Structure 1
Amino acid sequence: MIDHGAEAPVAGPLDAGVPSLDSVARLREGHDLRPDRRGGRQSRSRHLDQGDTPMHGRSWALVGIGITWIWVMLVAGAGEVAAQGKIVIYAAEDEKTTNALTTQFTDETKIGTEVIRIPAAGTLATRIRAEKAAPKADIFIGGSVEFHEPLAAEGLVLPYRSPVVAQANIDPVFVSPKDYWHGWFMGTLVIILNPQRFEREIASQGLSKPKTWDDLLHPAYRKKLVSGAPATCGGAYIFTAVQIFRNGGEDKGFDWLKRYDAQILQYTPTCPAPITLVARGEAVAGMTWQDDATEAMLAKQPIEVIFPPDTGAEIGGASIIKGGPNPEGAKKFVDFLLGQKAQSIKTELGFTYPVRGDVAPPKSVPPLSAIKLVKYDRQFAIDNRARLTKKWDDEIGSKR
């Protein structure tokens, strides 16, 4: 867990307009100060001199007004107080980007963050379901919206529409139709290649580097690919849906996936994991997200990144967990993620595409307009995620 900042003190003008101790003392003219015979200290005498007014008239009324004012201020500020303290974040994100985002958020809002980071959206979604009777986190970020929408259908996330959507003129496609999630970045699926193993084992057979998903079905790649598992890896589920849409239907899509399965050395529980296996030379090629792959390539890991046509793209989601300890703080974090600063951080460090038009896309990847995306029916993918994931496991995963 990453803890960015301790619980912020709640400050407020609770003393403004409240009578000072001196002014209160002046109202108590009949309570003169006389020496305390027991210790020489000043003590209040209960004696009222002739002509004094007892403290059950104007004096008590003014003190009562002060107490009432404090109570009103506490009630009125309850929402603001609730948003302070800290929020607990479940993040299917890389560590560097998450740290930068949470640090910036705390600097701007004085709200601390505690992060449980697991780069597998499906695992985090399962955790949210397991904790539904007593939620431990406030917000779930990262992973495609295909993982967030089912949580909404199960009543596990709160509806909220950030005002930043209208302020920044963000395309409505990046907001749940019923406001259960906000999309805050986009990414595309890519092929990664180990150039040394490719030259030694594939190029030697007269093949050029793969340019399309279909190129990976060549017998030369048999048991030399790595890919994520759809149940836990959001990219792998989107990859499954891409093959259905790309090949003209569910039956043809699954036929293609079974041929692809024959090429797979190992299915991984997360989408970044194939990068490590390919970089170490344990596999020739694999499928992963462009942001993770680009980061690894720029870090001088021995991989190449290929953007095939008819590929899939994710909308990375953020949703507020129902029953979480700090929903007001979670709303502020959603607003923050859609802001210009957070979008720039995610784009520059995470190599994803922003959802705001006033933030430049990452320089290390092709512009989104240059990538040919498959015609992707996101609603179908969302509505059928559980069924298609089970079908993949029944017909492919369980038979390995």
Structure 2
Amino acid sequence: MRTDAQRSSCQSTVHRGVAAVGVAGLVSPSSSSYGSTLLEEMALTVALVLLLQTLTGFVLLLSLQWLVRRPDRITRWAALTLALLLVTAAPLNYDPVGQVPRSIRILSVLDTDTSDALVRAFEARTGIRCQVDPLQGGARRSAELLLEERLQPDLMLGGTAEIHQMLAAAGVSLPVDLTGDPARITDFDPASRRFTPIYAGYLALIYRPVTDFSVQTPDWGALIDPERIGRVSLPSPASTSGGVVFLATQLLRQPEAERGWQYLGILGAAGVPWEARSSDVITKIAGGEADLGVSWAHDAWRRRKRDRLPIEVVIPPRTGYEIGAVSALRWARDLPATREFIQFLTSQEAQQIQAEVGLRVPLRTDVATPGYLGPGRATVGGPDQAFYDREVVLREQGAWVQRWSDEIDAPR
């Protein structure tokens, strides 16, 4: 039985079976369901208008014939009045294109619950319709498809700022100016304005409540414990935001980067699987296929609460974090509507949805943080995260991912 929320006018069109590299069916919007829907609406509207005008002309003709055959004064005035009413009421200057409801198409890498809640609130506020296309290949892979122009939505929702920086550097995203809001945290806004930060999130260790971990909470060292060989799961830096932040965390938390590469080399030599989506790590641990892994704290806590998964979550010291963002893309069909959606995402209403449904850290001072975060985690970028230099990550991520692919992933 579907709920009312699931019957929302903005039902997600989920591309089932789309893996990190299997995207042959995702093409430009000219052949997409989005474009087809608009064309169908326009064709139906034009057909109805033509039918109405034809009927109007037919009735007008009959009225004139009646006037000629019955020239008495009462009949003449009745016929002329009827004809005048029909002519003025007929939509002779009707603009069918202008009457099609405003719409935007969203590529979302957020969880479905949060995406749907945000869209429902936006539609209720503005009347602008949305189509949400969640891609099942991870945020980084989604960005690569945008760079290849194999996907052409109006905007990309979610994923770390590092991923959105790739789009900005390639000129795929557009600058968006927001109205001033004193409650909005602007510390992470880029000078280019080509993406807009809308939430924050911590990288966390996810584990099963096995005996060893009940005695001592796992830390980063537990991932390379020889006793855990074959029981660890990690997000891939090649396809996921979580993988990029995990890679950066290991390189930046060490006194020197080469020690971080040695750490990653141990994981590679142990045959650790690198998952195409960060959420796959949570699924494997909950299903007993792994004992320990890395994913986003907000995703793990949300799924633990919603699905009652048998997992534990710990945010270790010196962990990396993401600044989640949204980008308007150069293919936007209705740029004002796209900008209006981005402005909405920074509002108090939308930030409360991010915190309450998605369990993410809001980027507003007037929205409370999720309860699982302790006092020291209420805002990102504190002393414990000082090691995580986001400017370095933004600059070096491409080279780091390439080296990981060549030295850690490929040799296996």
TM-score (norm 1): 0.76
Residue 185 (str. 1) matches residue 191 (str. 2)? no
- In structure 2, distance between residues paired with 1:130 and 1:36: 66
Residue 283 (str. 1) matches residue 290 (str. 2)? yes
Q: Deviations over 1:112-162 (max 9, x none)?
A: 100111251112112212227xx6311101110100011111010001121
- In structure 2, distance between residues paired with 1:383 and 1:176: 13
Residue 266 (str. 1) matches residue 286 (str. 2)? no
- In structure 2, distance between residues paired with 1:387 and 1:300: 39
Shift in CA distance, 280/35, structure 1 to aligned 2, threshold 3 Å: closer
- In structure 1, distance between residues paired with 2:323 and 2:220: 21
Q: Larger % of helix: which?
A: 2
Root mean square deviation of aligned Cα? 3.2
Shift in CA distance, 261/366, structure 1 to aligned 2, threshold 3 Å: farther
Q: Deviations over 1:348-378 (max 9, x none)?
A: 0111100000000011333415983352111
The aligned runs of 1:46-125 (5 Å cut-off) are 85-118=102-135, 120-125=138-143
Letter of the structure 2 residue corresponding to residue 397 of structure 1: D
The aligned runs of 1:160-199 (5 Å cut-off) are 160-163=176-179, 166-195=180-209, 198-199=210-211
- In structure 2, distance between residues paired with 1:289 and 1:310: 15
Classify the secondary structure of the residue corresponding to 2:273: strand
- In structure 1, distance between residues paired with 2:70 and 2:174: 62
What is the CA-CA distance between 1:237 and the residue it aligns to? 0.6
Q: Deviations over 1:201-247 (max 9, x none)?
A: x46xxx94344212322211122100010011101111111111101
Shift in CA distance, 37/187, structure 1 to aligned 2, threshold 3 Å: same
Residue 157 (str. 1) matches residue 173 (str. 2)? yes
Assess if the C-alpha contact under 8 Å between 2:361 and 2:378 holds in 1: no
- In structure 2, distance between residues paired with 1:3 and 1:312: 37
Classify the secondary structure of the residue corresponding to 1:375: coil
Match of 1:379 among 371, 391, 397: 391
- In structure 2, distance between residues paired with 1:124 and 1:43: 67
Q: Deviations over 1:161-218 (max 9, x none)?
A: 211xx313433323111101111000001111111xx32xx46xxx943442123222
Matched with 1:354 is 362
Letter of the structure 2 residue corresponding to residue 390 of structure 1: Q
Match of 2:245 among 238, 242, 262: 238
Assess if the C-alpha contact under 8 Å between 1:142 and 1:318 holds in 2: yes
Assess if the C-alpha contact under 8 Å between 1:157 and 1:180 holds in 2: yes
Greater alpha carbon shift after TM alignment, 207-216 vs 148-157: 207-216
- Which runs of 5 or more residues in structure 2 are unaligned? 1-5, 12-36, 42-63, 79-92
Matched with 2:351 is 343
Larger Rg computed on CA atoms: 1
Assess if the C-alpha contact under 8 Å between 2:183 and 2:366 holds in 1: no
Residue 321 (str. 1) matches residue 329 (str. 2)? yes
- In structure 1, distance between residues paired with 2:355 and 2:154: 24
Identical-residue share of aligned pairs (%): 27
Match of 1:37 among 40, 53, 68: 68
Classify the secondary structure of the residue corresponding to 1:244: helix
Letter of the structure 2 residue corresponding to residue 347 of structure 1: A
Assess if the C-alpha contact under 8 Å between 2:139 and 2:239 holds in 1: yes
Assess if the C-alpha contact under 8 Å between 1:182 and 1:317 holds in 2: yes
Q: How many residues align?
A: 337
Classify the secondary structure of the residue corresponding to 1:292: helix
Residue 305 (str. 1) matches residue 279 (str. 2)? no
What is the CA-CA distance between 1:38 and the residue it aligns to? 4.3
Assess if the C-alpha contact under 8 Å between 1:210 and 1:216 holds in 2: no
- In structure 1, distance between residues paired with 2:175 and 2:149: 19
Residue 398 (str. 1) matches residue 406 (str. 2)? no
Letter of the structure 2 residue corresponding to residue 209 of structure 1: Q
TM-score (norm 2): 0.74
Assess if the C-alpha contact under 8 Å between 1:158 and 1:321 holds in 2: yes
- In structure 2, distance between residues paired with 1:363 and 1:117: 27
Match of 1:127 among 133, 141, 145: 145
- In structure 2, distance between residues paired with 1:172 and 1:383: 20
Assess if the C-alpha contact under 8 Å between 2:143 and 2:166 holds in 1: no
Letter of the structure 2 residue corresponding to residue 156 of structure 1: V
Classify the secondary structure of the residue corresponding to 2:68: coil
